[in-house]
Amino acid sequence: MPLNEHPAIIGLPPFTVKSLPKQEFFALLESAGYSVSATMPSGKHNCLKYLFSHKKHNSVMAVYNPANDRIVTAYQLD
């Protein structure tokens, strides 16, 4: 499914993402040509930040909460 047709995507580009299960979010971005380029701690509630890169589009930053196994927010960087 193209990113702009997914019900969790708001505006494209740039876009923000509503909360999604981690595996669904990863599959969505990978199907659009993004790949994880970095992982870092976010400092809140043991969350992690993932940076996704794309050859043609701006990167996407996503915040993952392991307590509920969901991406709680994600946005395309300017």
pLDDT digits (tens, 9 = 90+) for 41-62: 987 778 999 999 988 888 889 9
Q: How many domains does one find in the chain? A: 1
Distance CA 42, CA 5 (A): 29
Residue 29 has pLDDT above 80, yes or no: yes
Distance CA 38, CA 26 (A): 14
Average pLDDT over residues 6-29: 75
Phi, psi angle pair for 69, to nearest 5°: 55, 45
Host domain of residue 19: 3-76
